[in-house]
Amino acid sequence: MNAECALPAGAVLAEGPVWHEGHLHWVDIEKGELHRWHPPSGTRRHWTLPGRVGFAIPTERGDFLLGVNDALVRMDLDTGTRTPFATPTGEPAGNRFNDAKCDAAGRLWAGTMSVREEPGRGTLYRVDFSGELHATVRGVGISNGLAWSPDDRTLYYIDSPTRRVDAFDFDPASGEISNRRTVVTLTDGFPDGMCADAVGNLWIALWGGWAVACHDPRTGRRLAEVRVPVEAVTSCCFGDGDALWITTASRDLDAAGRIQQPLAGGLFRATVGVGGPVPPLFRG
């Protein structure tokens, strides 16, 4: 399959797409921007934050929970009002939040990484409704994609430099994880963001791989591939029906690369024949 450019956004590092209430939301990490786009009308809006923005997650209260630098911040998009929510203790200087998602119970799972991409300095946190943070995986390089199995008993997780998708047994009542093992190994790019479809297969953005790859985590086998005319494919999410929305980056391109990849930093769409579950909202 091939993806088509739906919006030539010109982002430096577009990431974290979330389909919510008929709009596609995403962040441009390096610009510190949160974007909202309504594809049918073309209406767009963006907000600029004081620092790198790793993710923006909609909440049950109607606002968004953002990872801004090394802190969690709530933001009302109607007013632009920001309220500090939580900050992890003991994070190394120079770390920032990266990718995040909510589990079915509405707890946030958010990871950190070194801004300079120094190995082993990140942590994956579970964030409870009160804002209490629990370190669940330490020694992470670049904390990235998260997804759950349809029965909510398995958490899938990407630490990009490992080139793996790992699985954990997941307790949906407590949020505890155990029994880490590798279910997918990638060789044609570094796994970045990902999402799960309705039947439990994983759609994995390949940084440096010009594609989103679909794998069955029960066998590790690649089932499908969506080709993207951009080398740095960063993340993906399901939206309306069987549409897969894909974000990309232009950050590392030199002048020649920008000529070769004029759509780098754009948003892409592919029809993939399957949809995904509605992303849970943060319940805190």
Our CA angle for 236, 60, 110, nearest 5°, is 45
The answer to whether the CB of 234 falls within 8 A of the CB of 13 is: yes
In the chain, the amino acid numbered 194 is: M
DSSP class of residue 258? H
DSSP 8-state secondary structure symbol assigned to residue 180: E
Q: For residue 284, is it within any domain?
A: no
Q: In this predicted structure, what is the pLDDT of residue 13?
A: 98
Query: What is the pLDDT, as a whole number, of residue 153?
Result: 98
**Which domain does 100 fall in, by range?**
4-271
DSSP summary character for residue 162: G
pLDDT beyond 90 at 9: yes
Q: Which tens digit of pLDDT belongs to each residue from 52-67? A: 999 999 999 999 999 9
Q: Is it the case that residue 164 has pLDDT exceeding 90?
A: yes
Alpha-carbon gap, residue 209 to 199, rounded angstroms: 24
The tally of domains found in the chain comes to 1
The answer to whether position 127 is within a domain reads yes
Position 94 in a domain: yes
- Grade residue 184 by pLDDT with cuts at 50, 70 and 90: very high
Average pLDDT score over residue span 207-223:
98
Asked whether the predicted pLDDT for residue 51 surpasses 90, the reply is yes
Q: Look at strands 43-48 and 33-38 and give their pairing.
A: antiparallel
Exposed, middle or buried, 81 (CB in 10 Å: 0-12/13-18/19+)?
A: exposed
CB 59 within 8 A of CB 282: yes
Burial of 136 (0-12, 13-18, 19+ CB in 10 A): middle
The whole-angstrom separation of Cα 166 and Cα 137 is: 12
Average pLDDT, the chain: 97
Q: Is 257 helix (H, G, I), strand (E, B) or coil?
A: helix
Length of the chain: 284
- pLDDT at res. 88: 97
Question: Tokens in use for 247?
Answer: 């974000």
- What percent of the chain lies above the pLDDT cut of 90? 100
Helix ranges (DSSP H) in the chain: 255-260
In percent, how much of the chain has pLDDT > 70?
A: 100
pLDDT at 207 over 90: yes
Q: Quick check: 170 and 216 in contact, CB under 8 A?
A: no
What is the residue type of 208?
A: G
Give the confidence band of 236 by pLDDT, cuts at 50, 70, 90.
very high
The verdict on residue 246 lying in a domain is yes
What CATH number does residue 202 fall under? 2.120.10.30
Q: What is the pLDDT of residues 241-269, one digit of tens each?
A: 999 999 999 999 999 999 999 999 999 99
Q: What is the mean pLDDT of residues 162-170?
A: 98
pLDDT at 240 over 90: no
223-236 average pLDDT score: 98
